[in-house]
Amino acid sequence: MADLTITLPDGTSREVPAGTTVGGLAASIGRGLAKAAVIGDVNGVERDLDWELADGDTVAIITAGSERGLYTIRHSTTHVMAQAVLELFPGSTFAIGPPVENGFYYDFELPPGPDGKPATFVPEDLERIEARMREILAEAQPFVRDELTDAKAREVFAGHRYKLEIIDGEADDPTSATASGLVRTYENPPAQPWATPAFAGYPGFVDLCRGPHVPDTKSFLGHFKLMRVAGAYWRGDEHKPMLQRIYGTAWATKAELDEHLHQLEEAAKRDHRKLANELDLLSFPEELGGGLAVWHPKGGIVRKLMEDYSRSRHQAGGYEFVYTPNIANGKLFEASGHLGFYADGMYPPMQMDNGEYYPKPMNCPGHNLIFNARQRSYRELPLRLFELGTVYRYEKSGTLHGLMRIRGFTQDDSHIYCTPEQAHDEIRSLLVFVLSVLRAFGFEDFEASLSTRPAKAETVGTDEGWAEATENLRGALEAEGLAYEVDEGGGAFYGPKIDVKVRDAIGRSWQLSTIQYDFNMAERMGLEYVGADVGRHTQIMMHRALFGSIERFFGVLLEHYAGAFPTWMAPVQARILPVRDDHEPYAAEVAVELAALGIRTDVVEASEKLGNRIRKAKGEKIPYVLVVGDDDVADRTVGVNPRGGEVERGVGLDEFTQRVVDEVDDQAHV
């Protein structure tokens, strides 16, 4: 038989005998590669290792260590999970089960329980399922690929309504193939036929699936853990049935699995809700109602510092400070359009003499009233109105999440009104401003998204307006050299936008700042200015928030710093500990001196052992612990125990205060 000529990723060719598979090719290249090979990329399509190559194919071997290899491992693991569930829960069925970041899931529907509704998993079921999965792995069941006609597939999956929908092409499953009258399946033949067969003509598990998969359940699988059970709507549609989703995590090696589980623990340790409680920053009292927080003194001082910094930057940046009330007549929100679009997300109205009053869900209508308070001239533009504006939104109860999703919050909100000619420069300087402020809070790693026009019929504004706005936003991103992705059609109906995301200390990404065009509001609320030509013109209006919400930004900072705020933001910057109680007068003197320089200080008297007082101060993540004893009283010094540093004895008091003052100046004015 003629040899095949195969092209490898490095451009070289290789001659292999006819009938060579992807796996065989890997073996011919090297034993190490053969061992690590999970699947192959053949002419741009992922294939199983037993896929037979054809002359002229271009082939890349995909190994367990690669992203695509890992996704294959996760994808195969979720098949094993589905097999375990369908076997352990006779009468259950399943929907889709793709690999996802860090793992996989599969959606199931269990047979009806006593109440006639589909039963649900209990957490203990996960242990049973996982145990059965390990047995399946030990059986080394092959993944057997097959192509069935639609008609045959309908017979096999007759008892599985969601699979039938997929066969009918009514649903899109990225992991299923429904091309041209044939569907691909993968079977895992079990060691023992199932007591209750779930698929006509099969002793065990088979699934609709495009593949590819690992060769068998013993290869590459095993470094997984089932994480949780959750509800999820079929096809993500809240009007469709709710299925039971099981999430798992899976990795190529045990070390990677352990590392992932360790990272989850680390993230849990810096959970802002936990830290806010431990550090006495704020709380969510039940009496207050869901999604509402009260700020304690220590959280309050941090928030005030954030606000002060924001205000000073905005003042320097040419913003004008305005204030608008927290409730407004519903007519205003009818004019702005919010009642029409977002009434469900607004708190219900209060009946008053002359109408219904709503807590404001947005600051823009109020700012527009200020713009409209008198006739505006082009000479006033750009006009930048800024407010730390508290808004109330009736978030659905299930969506509340600490400070990250809350019902009452304060936006660092600004609305910028400018002429079309000014927009280009305005956006560029705005983006520079945004990044500069975020850097001051310790973020270095940014990425952005540019959201463009949704389906035209659903939007307002002109083609030219959208095109020019989008180009202005894109130009600013490129001028700043900021990495961005384009979210095609992801804009709001009223305009395109830039969102800025930051990466935190443990690599998580948070969407914070936003810059949005608004083609809607100017028209709805009749905003216009008088130009140099004495004509009336519609100006560009932009919304922009930097922190987004102060509450959420605070939560992100808290997790970013794991509660150890930099010195300039720390609620207590220096704690003074007298060694004995006869050192307390000197400790008080030091405290007065520090306070005079604006250093936030407290003293803990010597009623406990020094070691314990230090331990507590460290637990509170205070930047500087100052110990003062006999030597210090005599020499007017302090013993400095800095957070994360070495203890220094006999530091001159003036030297220490200067150090802290300099540090704060540096950090707060990046």
Partner RNA sequence: GCCCAAGUAGCUCAGUCGGCAGAGCAUCUCACUCGUAAUGAGAAGGUCAAGGGUUCGAUUCCCUUCUUGGGCUCCA
Any idea which residues carry the catalytic annotation?
364, 393, 411, 413, 415, 497, 543
Phi-psi region of 123 (alpha: psi -120 to 50; beta: other; left: phi over 0): alpha
267 belongs to the binding site for RNA (CB under 7 A): no
Site string for RNA, 284-313 (x = CB under 7 A): x-x--xxx----------------------
Which residue type sits at 274?
Answer: K
Please, what is the minimum distance in Å from the beta carbon of residue 632 to RNA? 5
> Residue 277 or 667: which CB sits closer to RNA?
277
Q: Read off φ and ψ for residue 231, nearest 5 degrees.
A: -85, 145
Q: 113-172: which residues touch RNA (CB under 7 A)?
A: 120-123
CB 257 within 8 A of CB 251: yes
Find the part of the chain contacting RNA (CB under 7 A) among 320-328, 441-449, 468-476, 578-586: 578-586
**How would DSSP label each residue in 493-552?**
TTB-EEEEEEE-TTS-EEEEEEEEEESSHHHHTT--EE-TTS-EEPPEEEEEEEEEEHHH
Please, what is the minimum distance in Å from the beta carbon of residue 556 to RNA? 14
393 belongs to the binding site for RNA (CB under 7 A): yes
Partners of 414 in beta bridges: 386, 544
Interface size with RNA, residues (CB under 7 A): 74
- Cβ atoms < 10 Å from Cβ of 196: 10
Please, what is the minimum distance in Å from the beta carbon of residue 446 to RNA? 19
Partners of 321 in beta bridges: 386
> Residue 230 or 572: which CB sits closer to RNA?
230
Q: 516-535: which residues touch RNA (CB under 7 A)?
A: 516
Find the part of the chain contacting RNA (CB under 7 A) among 8-16, 204-212, 523-531, 608-616: 608-616
Q: 477-506: which residues touch RNA (CB under 7 A)?
A: 492
- Cβ atoms < 10 Å from Cβ of 155: 12
CB 663 within 8 A of CB 598: no
> Residue 185 or 363: which CB sits closer to RNA?
363
398 belongs to the binding site for RNA (CB under 7 A): yes
Please, what is the minimum distance in Å from the beta carbon of residue 81 to RNA? 15
Q: Pseudo-torsion of CA 284, 288, 290, 291, nearest 10°? A: -60
> Residue 182 or 369: which CB sits closer to RNA?
369
Q: Which two tokens stand for residue 325?
A: 């009330």
101 belongs to the binding site for RNA (CB under 7 A): no
CB 328 within 8 A of CB 368: no
Pick from 144, 182, 400, 460 the residue near RNA by CB under 7 A. Answer: 400
230 belongs to the binding site for RNA (CB under 7 A): yes
35 belongs to the binding site for RNA (CB under 7 A): no
Site string for RNA, 625-654 (x = CB under 7 A): x-xxxxxxx-----x-x-----x-x-----
Q: Under DSSP, is residue 338 helix (H, G, I), strand (E, B) or coil? A: helix
> Residue 115 or 533: which CB sits closer to RNA?
115
Find the part of the chain contacting RNA (CB under 7 A) among 16-24, 52-60, 77-85, 612-620: 612-620
Please, what is the minimum distance in Å from the beta carbon of residue 394 to RNA? 7
Pick from 405, 424, 428, 503 the residue near RNA by CB under 7 A. Answer: 405
Q: 539-558: which residues touch RNA (CB under 7 A)?
A: 543
236 belongs to the binding site for RNA (CB under 7 A): yes
Collect all residues with Cβ–Cβ distance below 8 Å to 403 and sequence separation of at least 6. Answer: 272, 273, 276, 282, 293, 551, 552, 554, 555
Please, what is the minimum distance in Å from the beta carbon of residue 24 to RNA? 40
Give the C-alpha distances (Å, rounded to integers) separating 145 from 51, 76, 161, 240: 10, 13, 22, 31
Site string for RNA, 325-354 (x = CB under 7 A): -------------x--xx--xx--------
Please, what is the minimum distance in Å from the beta carbon of residue 496 to RNA? 12
CA 366 – CA 318 distance, rounded (Å):
20
- Give the number of residues written for the chain: 670
Please, what is the minimum distance in Å from the beta carbon of residue 403 to RNA? 9
CB 64 within 8 A of CB 220: yes
What single DSSP character describes residue 379? G
619 belongs to the binding site for RNA (CB under 7 A): yes
Pick from 99, 248, 361, 563 the residue near RNA by CB under 7 A. Answer: 361
Q: Which two tokens stand for residue 505?
A: 């200390």
> Residue 185 or 637: which CB sits closer to RNA?
637
CB environment 420-440: b (16+ within 10 A), e (fewer): eebbbebbbebbebbbebbeb
Pick from 132, 152, 273, 503 the residue near RNA by CB under 7 A. Answer: 273
Closest CA to 655 of 579, 605, 597: 597
Residues 291, 280, 599, CA angle at the centre, nearest 5°?
Answer: 125
Find the part of the chain contacting RNA (CB under 7 A) among 170-178, 271-279, 378-386, 433-441: 271-279
